[in-house]
Structure 1
Amino acid sequence: MASTLPTPSALQGVRVIEMGQLIAGPFAGKTLGEFGADVVKIEPPGSGDPLRNWRLLQEGTSVWWQVQSRNKRSIALDLRSTEGQDIARKLIAEADVLIENFRPGTLEGWGMGYDVLSALNPGLVMLRISGYGQTGPYRDLPGFGAIGEAMGGLRHLTGEPGQVPVRCGISIGDTLAALHGTIGVLTALYHRKVNGGKGQVIDVALNEAVFNVMESLVPEYSAFGAVREPAGSALPGIAPSNAYRCSDGFVLIAGNGDSIFKRLMQTIGRDDLGADAALADNAGRVARVEELDRAIEAWTLARSVAEVLEVLGAARVPAGKVYTAKDICEDPHYRARDMLLQQRTRAGHDIEVPGVVPKLMGTPGTVRSSAPGLGDDTDSVLDELGFSADDIAALRGRKVVA
């Protein structure tokens, strides 16, 4: 784990109980934990969070888990048992924030609806992430991030025209929901501070989180009846901005600013296009985007990615290569910005993991502890609640905790 000098934490003193699993809820907990919140993660005994076993495993544990659950404490607690629910309520009664991403109605079935929990803890801020939200005709349908991406309008735009829609390669719907949820938590905590200490529920739907970033999708349909369609690597309505083939790969070039466009055309030896009055603004360039893309790619095809980037960088034209994981790990800028950290797992392995975003200059985020093993902190969390060693042993014997 990266060593850092002690710094004040923006969320020091904030206690978060995380009941979620997999991606959306836990990513919100991860973000709060990186800025100092004490995040206690409740996991089912035996199996734990399924993310522990997703993708590539190192000695039986996902390396993804090492990022998603750093700065958290794990208590293995059977929430389906009456005793486990009682313990959860005790934990929540002393917390500032509760995160859950179960299907709507699950917590109510366990006797932990917000009406019950807020009576125990009036200041509780409760983040609820679900497929379609806590209300509406679809509330009870199962929803994953991929479905939210489809309903939110994103999947229709990904891929090449006329081809099968493709995913962007990561669970972006879950992450967008988590980020919206984190914003909601911070906003609610601020409101609680300045308005009498009362908490509230934050209701985040996966499809709505995706829909919120869909830019002009709906206004264009409302005003013009225009249904935006997939456009591959291009940026529809903005030109020129695309991925272009080089002799050894691809480079992205964004030459869509008026002055940038002129510099780009001069650089590629097409002053005729740069001086064309019809191409002086974006509307004119969009009308002739195919012609511009052909001209740019004719120039890039004769050069390597490195040469294109060097020449365009000198001309102050935004351009970039398409990075792989290897490229990221070898890039000096990532390291200079502390975006690659050494983190030691509980099993003693040193791995590189992403740094903390965003960067706060006064109260920066930190990695204070590695991701826990299942139930690593059960005893200490219960001890904080006043349970004796004999009490904990009895609970363990009844398989309420592990």
Structure 2
Amino acid sequence: MPETPELPLKDVRVVEMGQLLAGPFCGQLLGDFGAEVIKLEPPGAGDPMRQWGREKPHGKSLWWPTLARNKKSVTCNLRTEEGQDLARKLISTADVVIENFRPGTLERWGLSYAELSELNPGLVLTRVTGYGQTGPYSSRAGYGSIGEAMGGIRYVTGEPDRPPSRAGISLGDSLAGTFAALGTMVALHARNRTGRGQVVDMAIYEAVLTLMESLVAEWAVAGYQRERTGAVLPNIAPSNVYPTKDGQSILIAANQDTVFKRLATVMGRPELAEDAGYATHSARGKNMEQLDDLIADWTSTQLADDLLRTLDESGVPAGRIFTAEDMLRDPHFAARDAIVRLMVPGLGEVPMQNVFPRLTGTPGTVRWAGPELGAHNDEVYSALGLDPGVIDRLRRDDVI
């Protein structure tokens, strides 16, 4: 798709030096809104994400087209002096550098922020790591799963009688990438006033910690330790998944007093809304199990489609537990273009999530899927002043 002039970050150049997920997800978010994201990858293999999420019939990653969409791929061996020189030349033209190497790696390569900001005083260096750039754990290897455990979300996820569980996605990495993108935009905004760049230091465990609501205060002030509670939250009722006559599961959230009254009426049990055991938020929380049993007894007599229609007409929030198949055939997803489809060489048409949030005046777009390794070498290096002969020599020497 052609780039539209309305893209809000079209004047921002980003050099992405990270790999795997946390740093590159930050790059994806910026690229979605028009930033020119130039991804530096090791010659030969490239980012390991090119192999992750492999679907055997195609022999290609189905994750890469989304994670690397809207990016330009340039190969550069950062472990060589010539590769480091190339990186400096490119970074001197950039607004942002994203990296998620272990702390100290850029410094060993002569690419510390002190050195880079000498070349480019307005540069924003966004650094995503497991534990941050400082502190006693900073030198440890840190993956998203470890950050999820340290940040608190693993302890409270799962059934109470089983070990901590996880979400079925790389939550910690994606959260860190999201907050890194937020920090990058804040730093660019500050640069508009000061003319100076700065370092954005994003730790995965801190991105997870940000989501943990009042968990820390509850323990420190009230001595209350949140525990795993499965599909429900303590004292929030009714808000659970309930069975239907045709074997489906429907989530109903009617924990507000007025909404519960509507649910009770729909159930044919309006007296429940006046019962001292269920009439208030606090009472329903104390009697959650009994109330869930009453609701499940009712929903199990209903067909899922009929149940959802009735609840919707009555103003009771309810919905299916969506799978990817559900998303691809759902009319609301379709009406809002929540999923877009791009042609990918070797894979054909690949559906992927659209750009969010939606902006009414300057929306983001998915302009192309993740590129082949080194697809933009000639374009990017020629723009830096390298002639074709030099580019060919660097390619032969495995610098690019």
- Do these two structures clear the TM 0.5 threshold for a shared fold by scoring above it? yes
Structure 1 gap segments, 5+ residues each:
none
TM-score normalised by L of structure 1:
0.96
Amino acid paired to 1:14: V
8 Å Cα contact 2:84/2:109 also seen in 1: yes
Query: Match for residue 260 of structure 1?
Result: 259
CA displacement, residues 121-174 of structure 1 (integer Å, 9 cap, x when unaligned) = 110011100000000111011111111111111111111112022111000100
- Give the direction of change, closer, same or farther, for the CA distance of 1:173–1:224 in structure 2 (3 Å limit): same
Residue in 1 aligned with 2:122? 123
Q: Does 2:82 correspond to 1:98?
A: no
Counterpart code for 1:134:
Q
Find the counterpart in structure 2 of residue 383 from structure 1. 382
Change (3 A) 1:218 1:117: same
The question of 1:222 aligning with 2:220 is answered yes
Decide whether the 8 Å contact of 1:346 with 1:373 is kept in 2. no
CA contact (8 A) 2:240 2:251 kept: yes
1:22 maps to: 20
Letter in 2 for 1:302: T
**TM-superposed deviation, 1:60:** 3.3
Other structure's SS at 1:74 match: strand
User: Is the aligned partner of 1:51 residue 2:41?
Assistant: no
Residue deviations 1:224-266, cap 9 Å, x none?
1111001110022311111112221211110011100111111
The answer for the alignment partner of 2:350 in structure 1 is 351
Q: 1:356-394: per-residue Cα shift (whole Å, max 9, x none)?
A: 111011001111222110011111110010000011011
CA contact (8 A) 1:238 1:256 kept: yes
Identify which range, 165-174 or 276-285, moves more after superposition.
276-285
Other-structure match for 2:248: 249
Residue aligned with 1:157, SS: coil
Alpha-carbon distance in structure 2 between the residues aligned to 1:335 and 1:7: 26
Secondary structure at the aligned position of 1:343 is classed as strand
Q: Distance in 1 between matches of 2:288 and 2:199?
A: 47
The one-letter code sitting in structure 2 at the alignment partner of 1:108 is E
Deviation at 1:113, TM superposition (A): 0.9
| Matched residue SS, 1:39 | strand
Partner of 1:169: 168
- Residue 278 of structure 1: how far off its partner (Å): 5.0
Query: Are 1:280 and 2:311 an aligned pair?
Result: no
- For 2:168 and 2:133, the matched residues in 1 are separated by 28
Shift of the 116–4 alpha-carbon distance from structure 1 to 2, 3 Å rule, reads closer
Aligned to 2:137: 138
Name 1:304's counterpart in structure 2: 303
Residue 378 of structure 2 aligns to which amino acid in structure 1?
D
Q: How does 1:104-119 map to 2 (within 5 A)?
A: 104-119=103-118
Instruction: Specify the code of the residue in structure 1 equivalent to 2:209.
Output: F
> Which residue number in structure 2 is paired with residue 327 of structure 1?
326
Choose 272-281 or 40-49, whichever is displaced more: 272-281
- Normalising by structure 2, we get a TM-score of 0.97
Equivalent residue for 2:147? 148
The correspondence for 1:33, drawn from 31, 45, 49, is 31
- After superposition, the C-alpha distances for 1:157-202 in whole angstroms (9 at most, x for unaligned) are 1111120221110001001001100100111111101x22100101
Q: Output the CA distance in 2 between the equivalents of 1:147 and 1:196.
A: 37
Structure 2: gaps (5+ residues): none
Q: Is the 8 A contact 1:7 1:363 kept in 2?
A: no
- Structure-2 change in CA distance of 1:5 and 1:38 (3 Å): closer
Kept after mapping to 1: 8 A contact 2:235/2:284: no
SS of the aligned residue for 2:326 comes to: helix
The structure-2 alpha-carbon separation of the partners of 1:266 and 1:5, relative to structure 1 and needing over 3 Å to count, comes to farther
Distance (whole Å) between structure 2 residues aligned to residue 5 and residue 90 of structure 1:
26
Question: Deviation string for 1:30-56 (max 9, x for gaps)?
Answer: 110010100000000111000110123
Fraction of identical pairs, as percent = 49
Q: Deviations over 1:282-340 (max 9, x none)?
A: 11211111111111111111122222211111111000110111000000110111111
SS at match of 2:160: coil
**Residue 237 in structure 1 maps to residue 228 in structure 2:** no
Please give the alpha-carbon distance, in whole angstroms, between the structure 2 residues aligned to 1:106 and 1:269.
65
Q: Distance in 1 between matches of 2:107 and 2:392?
A: 29
Write the distance in 1 (CA, Å) between the matches of 2:2 and 2:95: 27
What do residues 1-36 of structure 1 show as CA deviations (whole Å, max 9, x unaligned)?
xx5894501101100000111111111101100101
8 Å contact kept, 1:69–1:370: yes
Corresponding residue of 1:8: 6
Structure-2 separation of matches of 1:242 and 1:104? 43
Range moving further from structure 2, 92-101 or 265-274: 265-274
Query: Deviation at 1:280?
Result: 3.2
Q: Secondary structure at the match of 1:279?
A: coil
Residue range with higher mean Cα deviation, 270-279 or 391-400: 270-279
Alignment partners' CA distance in 2, 1:392 and 1:5:
27
DSSP-derived class of the 1:136 partner: coil
Residues 346 and 371, structure 1, Cα contact 8 Å, conserved in 2: no
